[in-house]
């Protein structure tokens, strides 16, 4: 099924499946970020982890994780970079790339997990 991006049908907010409690994602690289990001989205907290999960929402949903919809004024990537820049402008770029890399590692590992998450 083709993902239509932001114009696709809105899904109701459903309590998400936390990767740490899902045996097929436990121990995967970046599962801690995904778990924290989902929890933060559900709680309505604007954190770097939540922004990272928002960035990867289509791919995470394709893997089978339930990621809540949110109404955000700012693109997730901009929000993430802004938070990192506010903490330490000198390292924001490298930390942004590292976090995105960890999310990509998680998604790739989950897509290829032998338990057939996908």
Tens digit of pLDDT for each residue in 94-103? Answer: 999 999 999 9
Give me the tens of pLDDT residue by residue for the chain, a chain 118 residues long: 344 443 333 333 334 444 445 656 778 999 999 999 999 999 999 999 999 999 999 999 999 899 999 888 899 999 999 999 999 999 999 999 999 999 999 999 998 876 544 4
pLDDT at residue 85, as a whole number: 97
Of 13, 31, 25, which is closest to residue 103 (Cα–Cα)?
31
pLDDT at residue 18, as a whole number: 46
Of 35, 20, 23, which is closest to residue 115 (Cα–Cα)?
23
Structure tokens at 15: 């309590």
Query: How far apart are alpha carbons 112 and 108 in whole angstroms?
Result: 6
Alpha helices in 44-91 (DSSP H): 48-55, 57-63, 76-87
Query: How far apart are alpha carbons 43 and 101 in whole angstroms?
Result: 25
User: Taking the complete model, does pTM exceed 0.85, yes or no?
Assistant: no
């Amino acid at each position: 099924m083709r993902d239509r991006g932001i114009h696709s049908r809105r899904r109701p907010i459903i309590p998400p499946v936390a990767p740490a409690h899902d045996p097929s994602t436990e121990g995967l690289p970046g599962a801690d970020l995904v778990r924290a990001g989902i929890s933060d989205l559900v709680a309505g907290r604007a954190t770097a982890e939540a922004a990272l999960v928002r960035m990867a929402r289509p791919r995470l949903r394709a893997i089978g994780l339930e990621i809540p919809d949110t109404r955000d004024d700012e693109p997730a990537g901009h929000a993430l970079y802004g938070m990192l820049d506010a903490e330490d402008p000198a390292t924001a770029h490298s930390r942004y790339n590292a976090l995105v890399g960890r999310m990509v590692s998680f998604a790739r590992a989950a897509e290829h997990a032998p338990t057939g998450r996908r």
